[in-house]
Chain A
């Protein structure tokens, strides 16, 4: 069975990490970058669950950490979207290249 091989899942979570990094570097709007961060967090969750399933522990610790990651991702998304809406209403843009007050 293909799902008894950990390498399929490891490669998949690696692809998610790579796509997330790619989007984080190449997107121009804050929302696009937030979507990429969600991809990275999903890859991390998949990695935790697969290590829990394959490198068998008596207790499902990896799944517990995946649940924690989900909680953190949800609160992070809420805060980030509030910030994005605030920035958009004040500046009429969410282009990260135009937000440069903090540049040294």
Chain B
């Protein structure tokens, strides 16, 4: 009983976070709604029997990406200089039409299919590690290379943006 209540609350948090991250007119609130949705998805990973991925979700998304986004919002100028998030009416209408259209079209496909669900199982970190290093070592190494390159690229961009351009208030 209590597990069901927690499950539905988590689902509600994910939906609320997704809608808030999309529709909120302030960027920093959008970031916090996004963090809410990501934390809720971490909780759902536990219900799906993959605690390791849930832990990684909290570490990577809530920890790393969340802090990055909050810092970017703070560094990207004072909020009164930013453009209004609510764009022209036609853009918002186009966005709502696109989102709901895709959801309705794909849901129609999902609804008529009978899904054969297997028994629940919990996957261990050991199985994940064996699978990564035995079957997908190339992808694993390539992603490591990608992360190193992106760190170097971020440092390069930070150096490039130092003290250039007109009216640079940050020096």
Q: Which residues of A contact B (CB under 8 A)?
A: 1-12, 14-29, 31-32, 34-36, 38-39, 42, 45-46, 49-50, 52-56, 59-61, 63-64, 66-68, 70-79, 81-86, 88-95, 97
Question: How many angstroms from the CA of A10 to the CA of B109 in the assembled complex?
Answer: 11
Q: Output the nearest chain A residue to B50 by Cβ-Cβ distance.
A: A63
Q: Is the CB of B49 within 8 A of A26?
A: no
Q: Is the CB of B157 within 8 A of A94?
A: no
Q: Is the CB of A29 within 8 A of B27?
A: yes
- Once A15-B18, A22-B98, A72-B143 are accepted as A-B contacts, the answer to whether A38 and B65 lie under 8 Å apart by CB is yes
| A64 / chain B contacts, CB cutoff of 8 Å | 128, 131-132, 136
| B85 / chain A contacts, CB cutoff of 8 Å | 27-29, 32
| Nearest 5 CB-CB pairings of A with B | A26-B95, A56-B118, A22-B99, A82-B157, A75-B150
Q: Is the CB of A9 within 8 A of B44?
A: yes
- Once A24-B95, A85-B75 are accepted as A-B contacts, the answer to whether A67 and B120 lie under 8 Å apart by CB is no
Q: Is the CB of A63 within 8 A of B52?
A: yes
Q: Is the CB of B65 within 8 A of A73?
A: yes
- Once A11-B110, A15-B18 are accepted as A-B contacts, the answer to whether A92 and B146 lie under 8 Å apart by CB is no
Chain B nearest CB, measured from A56 CB (Å): 3
Secondary structure dominating the interface of B: helix
- Once A42-B37, A82-B153 are accepted as A-B contacts, the answer to whether A27 and B53 lie under 8 Å apart by CB is no
Chain A nearest CB, measured from B112 CB (Å): 11
Question: How many angstroms from the CA of A76 to the CA of B64 in the assembled complex?
Answer: 12
| B140 / chain A contacts, CB cutoff of 8 Å | 68
- Once A6-B115, A85-B75, A89-B168 are accepted as A-B contacts, the answer to whether A78 and B151 lie under 8 Å apart by CB is yes
- Residue in A7, A16, A82, A89 whose beta carbon sits within 8 Å of that of B115 in the complex: A7
Chain A nearest CB, measured from B74 CB (Å): 11
Q: Is the CB of B157 within 8 A of A86?
A: yes
Q: Is the CB of B34 within 8 A of A31?
A: no
- Residue in A16, A52, A61 whose beta carbon sits within 8 Å of that of B37 in the complex: A16
* Known A14-B106, A29-B82, A92-B167; 4 more pairs at CB < 8 Å: A25-B94, A29-B27, A78-B153, A82-B153
- Once A7-B115, A21-B102, A28-B83 are accepted as A-B contacts, the answer to whether A85 and B48 lie under 8 Å apart by CB is no
Q: Is the CB of B161 within 8 A of A85?
A: yes
- Once A21-B99, A64-B132 are accepted as A-B contacts, the answer to whether A78 and B53 lie under 8 Å apart by CB is no
Chain A nearest CB, measured from B169 CB (Å): 9
Question: How many angstroms from the CA of A86 to the CA of B161 in the assembled complex?
Answer: 5
